[in-house]
Amino acid sequence: MDLDELLKVRDRYDAEVRRGATGPRVERVGRVVRQSGPDGWNGVLWSELDEETADAEIAAQVAHFGGRGQAGGAASFEWKLYTHDRPADLADRLAAAGFVPEPAETLLAARTADLAGLPVDPPEGITLLRVSDEAGVDLMMEAHTRAFGVERPRIKEAVLTQLREDPGSIEAVVAMAGNVPVSSARMDIRAGSAFAGLWGGGTDPAWRGRGIYRLLVAYRARIAAERGIPYLQVDASEDSRPILERLGFGVLGVTVPYIWQG
């Protein structure tokens, strides 16, 4: 995609995935769209701010999410900032309000049709397992821990909830080396949106360099194409960005998670 098309895709992404986000835990309040509830990810998905309104809106979200905290501490939440968000100094305002930035990620997108033809034959010793139940989720999370060195119980609960309440909204897969899960990934499918989101791709260090990450991208791209979804989107780390760009993903911008811990 050339620059003009990338900008159009970014605008569509903002309109459909951020500003137009839907779901039982999503609400538009004032100048923000946020997601909040007892389980899963909590935070601000999109904002429409300027120099006059930003500080008051930040304070309002701190009051909302902080008021949900349990005895002994306030709830944490994320303000998902994109570099094209306004005002231009929004990052500084968030920092002044007590938010702490995590490592930046690159927002990438690709046409599903451009990826659907990628080979999906596993490398030698690897089989793919589609996740459809709790046992599969356990394998997915074991692979995640092997890849990233941390456990993420909130991801497990969120995936289990999706599989139970809206199985059509998620596709998850585990790469197995015999009985050992060595890589996993998932894809969020948003009803009515042109975008499916790729998440969680990671491989056990002992199995990297064999094409498994690329395989899991191709596997999900083929499913997205079969379901008529035009674009795939990824918030990519610096490790995965070069692989994705070689596969044909283009850069839409940069996103930084700003975390408020109370």
CA diameter of the chain: 59
The encoded tokens of residue 189 equal: 């499918």
Model pTM? 0.90
In 30-118, DSSP assigns E strands to 32-35, 43-47, 77-82, 100-101, 105-111
| Cβ neighbours of 256 (radius 10 Å) | 19
Per residue in 143-180, pLDDT (tens digit) is 999 999 999 888 999 899 999 999 999 999 999 999 99
Phi, psi of 254 (to 5 degrees): -130, 140
Q: Which pair of structure tokens corresponds to residue 207?
A: 């199995």
Amino acid residing at 177 = A
Distance linking the first and last C-alpha atoms of the chain: 42
Q: Per residue in 5-34, pLDDT tens?
A: 999 999 999 999 999 998 888 999 989 999
> d(Cα 164, Cα 172) in Å, to the nearest integer?
13
Each residue's pLDDT tens digit, 208-260:
999 999 999 999 999 999 999 999 999 999 989 999 999 999 999 999 999 99
Please calculate the CA angle 238-244-247 and round it to the nearest 5 degrees: 155
Phi, psi of 244, deg, nearest 5? -65, -40
Q: Cα(85)–Cα(82) distance, rounded to whole angstroms? A: 5
For the segment 64-93, the average pLDDT, to the nearest whole number, is 83
Helices (H) and strands (E) in the chain, counts: 8, 12
Q: Give per-residue pLDDT as tens, 99-149.
A: 999 999 999 999 999 998 898 889 999 999 999 999 999 999 999 999 999
Per-residue exposure over 10-19, b if at least 16 CB sit within 10 Å of its own CB, e if not:
bebbbebbbe
Q: What is the CA radius of gyration of the chain?
A: 19
